[in-house]
Amino acid sequence: MIDIKKLIENPEIYKDSIAKRNTKNVDLDLLISVYNEKRMTQQKVEDLNAQINKISKSIGNVSADERKSVIEEGQKLKETLKEVEAKFKDLEEKYVALALCVPNTLPEDTPLGFEDNSNIEVRKFGEPTKFDFKPLDHVELGKKLDLLDFEAGAKTTGAKFYFFKNEVVMLENALKKFALDIFKEKGLYMLKTPDLARQDILMGSGFNPRGSESNVYNLEGMDLSLIATAEITIGGYLSNSVFKEEALPLMFAAESQCFRREAGGAGQENKGLYRVHQFDKMEMYAVTKPEDSNATLEKIVAIEEEIYQKLGLPYRVVRVCAGDLGSPAYKKFDIEAWMPGKGENGEYGEVTSASNCTDFQSRRLNIKYATKDKKEFAHTLNGTAIALSRVILAILENYQQKDGSVKIPEVLMNYVGFDEIKVPEKLFEDFKV
RNA sequence: GGAAGGGUGGCAGAGCGGUUUAAUGCACCGGUCUUGAAAACCGACGUAGGGGCAACUCUACCGUGAGUUCGAAUCUCACCCCUUCCGCCA
Q: Which ipTM value was assigned to this complex?
A: 0.82
Whether this model's pTM surpasses 0.90: yes
Contact, A50 CB vs strand B, < 7 Å: yes
Nearest to A286 by CA among A226, A243, A227, A225: A243
Nearest to A380 by CA among A239, A244, A255, A207: A239
- Looking across all nucleic acid strands, the nucleotide with the smallest C1' to CA distance from residue A70 is B70
Contact, A59 CB vs strand B, < 7 Å: yes
Q: Is the dihedral of CA A344, A346, A351, A356 positive or negative?
A: negative
Nearest to A391 by CA among A289, A294, A279: A279
Q: What angle do CA A344, A345, A349 make, to 5 degrees?
A: 90
Q: Answer whether residue A60 shows pLDDT above 70.
A: no
Q: What is the DSSP letter of A376?
A: E
Please list, in sequence order, all residues whose beta carbon lies within 8 angstroms of the beta carbon of residue A400, skipping any fewer than 6 positions away: A131, A135, A136, A141, A340, A406
For A120-158, what is each residue's pLDDT tens digit? 999 999 999 999 999 999 999 999 999 999 999 999 999
Contact, A55 CB vs strand B, < 7 Å: yes
Please tell me the predicted confidence (pLDDT) of residue A9.
86
Q: Answer whether residue A25 shows pLDDT above 80.
A: yes
Dihedral angle, C-alpha A240, A95, A98, A321, nearest 10 °? -50
Contact, A71 CB vs strand B, < 7 Å: yes
What is the distance in angstroms measured between the alpha-carbon CA of A51 and the sugar C1' of B48?
Answer: 22
Q: d(Cα A36, Cα A40) in Å, to the nearest integer? A: 6
What is the distance in angstroms measured between the alpha-carbon CA of A99 and the sugar C1' of B78?
Answer: 29
Contact, A47 CB vs strand B, < 7 Å: yes
Chain A span 331-350 residues with beta carbon within 7 Å of strand B: none
Q: Answer whether residue A335 shows pLDDT above 80.
A: yes
Compute how many other C-beta atoms are within 10 angstroms of the C-beta atom of residue A426. Answer: 8
Residues found in chain A:
433
Q: d(Cα A138, Cα A144) in Å, to the nearest integer? A: 10
Q: Answer whether residue A264 shows pLDDT above 80.
A: no
Contact, A45 CB vs strand B, < 7 Å: yes
Contact, A52 CB vs strand B, < 7 Å: yes
Contact, A97 CB vs strand B, < 7 Å: no
Q: What angle do CA A14, A19, A22 make, to 5 degrees?
A: 120
For A213-235, what is each residue's pLDDT tens digit? 788 998 887 888 999 999 999 99
Contact, A326 CB vs strand B, < 7 Å: no
Q: What is the DSSP letter of A422?
A: P
Contact, A75 CB vs strand B, < 7 Å: yes
- Looking across all nucleic acid strands, the nucleotide with the smallest C1' to CA distance from residue A5 is B49
Which helix (H) or strand (E) covers residue A173, if one does? helix A167-186
